[in-house]
Amino acid sequence: MKREIVCSGIRPTGNLHLGNYFGALRNFVKMQDEHDCYFFVADYHSLTTHPTPGDLYSNARQILVQYLAAGLDPEKSTIYLQSDLPETIELYLFLNMNAYLGELERVTSFKDKVRQQPNNVNAGLLTYPTLMAADILIHKATRVPVGKDQEQHLEMTRTFAQRFNSMYQSEVFPLPQAFNYGHELVKIPGLNGSGKMGKSEGEGNAIFLNDEPSVIRKKIMKAKTDSGPTEPNQPKPVEIDNLFTLMRVVSTDETVRHFEELYNSCQIRYGDMKKQLAEDMVAFTEPFRQRIAELSADEEALRRIMDRGKERAHESARRTIDEVRHVIGYRN
Ligand code: TYM
């Protein structure tokens, strides 16, 4: 496989959930063995929700710990805080000059935010896709491991990159692609019958990597179900299909097959299925819980990792910004 430049990030707005893991983080860990990787904590992006100064660093640190707990290795990848790389902001400014109001207003995630938080529709939300494009293009990345919900942002990144190249008749930026190993981009469903596992989708919807076993069991037992199939081989209603999707990511094929058969023969008892799913989730998350606790305790090691990541990210970003400034016509 060709060695690519890879870049991606996650917003520090709480603990990481299984959606973040299966949509993004799992790929980060795998890609670091094969490619040149830049993984950051998106702590500029989190400002759209106005965290307090006290929360800003501790939230970012928490995500860094969870990156490491999942297996990101600072020897293999460049791991850094987005706010340690102000070159990103310079590129954001340049990209914003060629991003148009109409196209930014049509972005699905922006329209969702307008609906969810009508009293805080700030310009940062509107230009979220240009900041994201800057994150990626600052390293000239070609592959971006993300979940399905980020597909449109990647499309916009390509639009901005292409527009910049053609405006300055240059080939500064490659056109990056969203990436998931060998498959379609992933969308992990939530536990409350909603389509997506997410932090803002309501209480009990997400399983977090550091949830205690008792919390996991409680959340799964509360997941929405119905009264069960009445005829063999019926299509599954959304909330049941969601449970099977979750089972497919943490349980063995044999377990999934067993419950599929029970469903198709109308013998399924959702209580049993949920118990099994809960135990498989507890087993799956166990190593994360342990490593998160260990890594959190070592502030000095975390600082060293951040400093090193900052330095390496800076080298790559500086090269791009120098080239961009030259192409735009600024004095060198
Ligand atoms: P964020 O912080 O909302 O989510 C981080 C990553 O997790 C994925 N994800 C999911 N994947 C599958 N199923 C789900 N239920 C699910 N929920 C979340 C997201 O697709 C994402 O990959 N804009 C980004 C952060 C970002 C970024 C970037 C990503 C900023 N700059 C540059 C890549 C490149 C975001 O808000 O992700």
Burial of 300 (0-12, 13-18, 19+ CB in 10 A): exposed
For residue range 99-115, what is the model confidence (pLDDT) as tens digits? Answer: 999 999 999 999 999 99
Question: In a 3-state reduction of DSSP, which class is residue 138?
Answer: coil
Mutate to test the pocket of ligand 1, among 8, 20, 136 (most ligand atoms within 8 A of CB): 20
Which residues are 5's β-sheet partners? Answer: 36
For residue range 127-185, what is the model confidence (pLDDT) as tens digits? Answer: 999 999 999 999 999 999 999 999 999 999 999 999 999 999 999 999 999 999 977 99
138 lines ligand 1 (CB under 6 A): no
20 lines ligand 1 (CB under 6 A): yes
CATH number of 5-187+299-328: 3.40.50.620
For residue range 265-294, what is the model confidence (pLDDT) as tens digits? Answer: 999 999 999 999 999 999 999 999 999 999
Q: Residue 193's pLDDT band (boundaries 50, 70, 90)?
A: confident
Q: Measured in angstroms, how far is the CA atom of residue 24 from the centroid of ligand 1?
A: 7
pLDDT at 34 over 90: yes
Which ranges in the chain are annotated with CATH 1.10.240.10?
A: 199-292
Is residue 196 annotated as a catalytic residue, yes or no? Answer: yes
pLDDT at residue 49 in the model: 87
Which ranges in the chain are annotated with CATH 3.40.50.620?
A: 5-187+299-328
- What does each C-alpha distance from 186 to 27, 216, 243, 249 come to in angstroms? 11, 22, 15, 11
Structure-token match 């900052």, residue found:
310
Q: Which CATH number fits domain 199-292: 3.40.50.720, 1.10.287.110, 1.10.240.10, 2.102.10.10?
A: 1.10.240.10
Question: Per-residue DSSP letters for 196-262?
Answer: S--TTS-TTS--BTT--HHHHHHHHHHS---S--SSTTPPPPHHHHHHHHHHHHHS-HHHHHHHHHH
For residue range 199-248, what is the model confidence (pLDDT) as tens digits? Answer: 877 778 999 999 999 999 999 999 989 999 999 999 999 999 999 999 99
46 contacts 13 by C-beta, under 8 angstroms:
yes
